[in-house]
Homo-oligomer: A and B are copies of this chain.
Amino acid sequence: MTRTVGYLGPQGTYCEEAVLHIYSKTDVCLQPFTGIDDAIRAVGSGTVDESIVPVENSLEGSVNITLDTMAHDVNLYITKEIVLPVRHNLLMKKGSEEIAVIVSHPQALAQCRKTLGKLYPKAKLKPVESTAAAARIVATCDGLCAAVGSLRAGEFNGLTVAASNIQDIASNSTRFIGLQRQPIVCEPGNCKTTLVCQINGEQPGSLYNLLGEFAQRQVNLMRIESRPARTGLGMYIFFFDIEGSIAESNIAAAISAIEKKCLWYKNLGSYPVYHVEK
């Protein structure tokens, strides 16, 4: 049976670009979702075999809905990470000259704010649900609007590229993760492991003691992200990205020690990282 892979659609999103770096359209059945949480829940319910969703951007930070859905609403595992360099383009209808409104996903607008302010100081920035939806809106507008989005989104909607690489900071990239119902076995080498847990924040030094379990075993903590535990202000859960696989003994030992110290804990899996070339 053909494998079904969900992603944050519609067609032409950066998320689709990440999916197509891993899968060919002829090998899998791609299913776009309008919301990140819908794409994730579809894996949990068995509607799709895997979903690929954004989890972090180098300028805008974590995609909270991805972290919160993984922590609170489903029991899935991360099976791959794809790092995609983000190059935004200003897309408009052929023959457009004046631009009164620029539409895009709020994060894309934020990532280009300085450049857009220089190019079109009078244009109003208007957030819409995705960069791909923005391109679709421009294709049907009166010619006074433009979209920030990918080259694919522009081609897909018959738009021209008025300016390319308009992101304010060149080193802009987004991390996407693939989620499945079962964990994979990730052999050591180019592997990451993600945990999420809640500690007793009322004990001073509890986070310090937890990080000590990594430090004393030379486990490299690549990222720590706190999110509300949703049990009240001042109570948090923590996501830890660590370098390496649970197949390595020092990492397995650190994780086992951390599990004992937490009020609540989930191992989200060990997985390989793919970098899309610039």
Contacts and interface: CB of A to CB of B under 8 A. Distances in A.
Contacts of A127: 127
Nearest to A228: B61
Q: Which of A56, A211, A218 has the most chain B CB within a 10 Å cutoff?
A: A211
Interface in A204-225: 204-205, 207-209, 211-212, 214-215, 218-225
Contact of A208 (B58, B173, B214): B214
Interface residues of A, number: 40
A221 B210 CA distance: 14
Copies of this chain present in the complex amount to 2
Contact of A211 (B57, B169, B207, B219): B207
Contacts of A234: 58, 222-223
A231 interface: yes
A204 B226 contact: no
A112 B102 CA distance: 30
Interface string A222-246: 1111111011111010000000000
Contacts of A204: 215, 218-221
A60 interface: yes
A64 interface: yes
Nearest to A241: B234
Given A60-B64, A215-B204, A175 B233 contact: yes
A224 B207 contact: yes
Contact of A230 (B58, B207, B233): B58
B226 A215 contact: no
A212 B215 CA distance: 12
A224 B227 contact: no
Given A61-B228, A171-B231, A204-B215, 9 more contacts: A58-B228, A58-B232, A60-B64, A175-B233, A201-B222, A205-B214, A208-B212, A223-B226, A225-B226
Interface of A: 56-61, 64, 83, 127, 169, 171, 173, 175, 201, 204-205, 207-209, 211-212, 214-215, 218-228, 230-234, 236
